[in-house]
Chains A and B, each alone.
Chain A
Amino acid sequence: MGIYDNRLLAKEKDTLVLRIQNTKQGIITTQNDLFFLYYQDFLGNLDNTYGNTDILTINDFFNSKNLLKKLSGKNIGFEFLVSKLRYLDISQIGRWFSYMKYFYGLCKRYRHQLILSSGAKNIYELISLRIINSILDKLEVSSTEYWSDLNQWLSRKKRGMIYDPL
């Protein structure tokens, strides 16, 4: 998710998901025949979060239980960026892994989707499926279950598909 390259859009539109920042002004996009999801950075509370946001990007640890409970049924994707971990020290990474195990349990309980994303801003920050699966393994999350859940979540989120693939 989140790959954006104009040349790819035309021929790969069945396999790409646009990740668009949700803003107060509303979205103006010419790519309305593509599958897209709205994301927002989570800033510690829901005050500035819009109702149609699909993904909340989490940058800091927070008291997640109450929030996930409150949002129960809204089917939100909570996104964590692996690229952020590069700049953390060892103890913070350890804390991240511990927090993620807890968070994944809450996502399962309140029916939200955990999303592990590369968060890449350049090619060197891209990570492969194998690395994501390795991280999932360390989080004691079955990679098969994770990808299956993510696929189902994306299917439920599909909207704006007004083109005929044929």
Chain B
Amino acid sequence: MTLSKKKYRYIGIYLSDRLSSNKPGILEELSNRYLGLFGSIDYSNANIRIIKINNNPNDIVILKCRLESLTNILISLSLIELELMIISISGTLKQLKKKILVFLNYVSENQKDLTFSFKDS
């Protein structure tokens, strides 16, 4: 029997000002949605964790999960009533950090553009 290495994905999430002070609350909300939608067995296999890294900006949270559960996590994240935005998904933390930096640079240059609400013509 061969042992295959478990594959993980890192998800970079941008939080609104209101959310950034309550990162554990996001995991709780996500877990509740995931459990409701896909069940406890699937949830335990997903192995969802918040990754803490040095110098992580306050408005960014990084989640780690099993590759097989990525689809379910993306659906759960998009169906929770929280002001967050998935920035990027990557197989390595190093790549994810790079993408987060690019995003944060864009945000700092275009802060105004990110705050408007859409309207119909």
Interface residues of B, Cβ cutoff 8 Å to A: 16, 33, 36-37, 71-72, 74-75, 77-86, 89, 114-121
Chain B residues with Cβ below 8 Å from A134 are 71-72, 74-75
Alpha-carbon distance between A64 and B7 when the two chains are bound, in angstroms: 42
Q: Does A127 contact B78, Cβ atoms closer than 8 Å?
A: yes
Neighbour of A123 across the interface among B71, B79, B80, B85, CB < 8 A = B85
In the complex, A100 has a CB within 8 A of chain B: no
Q: Does B121 contact A86, Cβ atoms closer than 8 Å?
A: no
21 A-B pairs whose Cβ atoms sit less than 8 Å apart in the complex: A2-B120, A3-B118, A4-B118, A4-B119, A18-B121, A29-B121, A31-B121, A82-B79, A86-B80, A86-B81, A93-B36, A93-B37, A120-B118, A122-B83, A122-B116, A122-B118, A130-B74, A131-B86, A135-B78, A137-B71, A138-B71
Mark out the residues of chain A between 1 and 26 whose CB falls within 8 Å of any chain B CB in the assembled complex: 2-4, 18-21
Q: Does A90 contact B74, Cβ atoms closer than 8 Å?
A: no
Q: Does A4 contact B120, Cβ atoms closer than 8 Å?
A: yes
Chain A residues with Cβ below 8 Å from B115 are 123
Alpha-carbon distance between A128 and B74 when the two chains are bound, in angstroms: 10
Q: Does B74 contact A2, Cβ atoms closer than 8 Å?
A: no
Q: Does A121 contact B118, Cβ atoms closer than 8 Å?
A: yes
| Chain A: CB-nearest residue to B120 | A21
Chain B residues with Cβ below 8 Å from A130 are 74, 89
Chain A residues with Cβ below 8 Å from B114 are 123
| Chain A: CB-nearest residue to B70 | A134
| Chain A: CB-nearest residue to B114 | A123
Alpha-carbon distance between A31 and B121 when the two chains are bound, in angstroms: 9
Query: Given contacts A134-B71, A134-B74, could you give 11 more A-B pairs where the C-beta distance is less than 8 Å?
Result: A3-B118, A4-B121, A21-B120, A86-B80, A122-B117, A122-B118, A124-B84, A124-B85, A126-B85, A131-B77, A137-B71
Q: Does B75 contact A131, Cβ atoms closer than 8 Å?
A: yes
Q: Does A135 contact B75, Cβ atoms closer than 8 Å?
A: yes
Closest chain-B Cβ to A115's Cβ sits at a distance in Å of: 16
Among all A-B residue pairs, the 10 with the closest Cβ atoms: A90-B36, A124-B83, A134-B71, A86-B81, A131-B78, A122-B117, A134-B74, A131-B74, A85-B79, A127-B78
Closest chain-B Cβ to A101's Cβ sits at a distance in Å of: 15
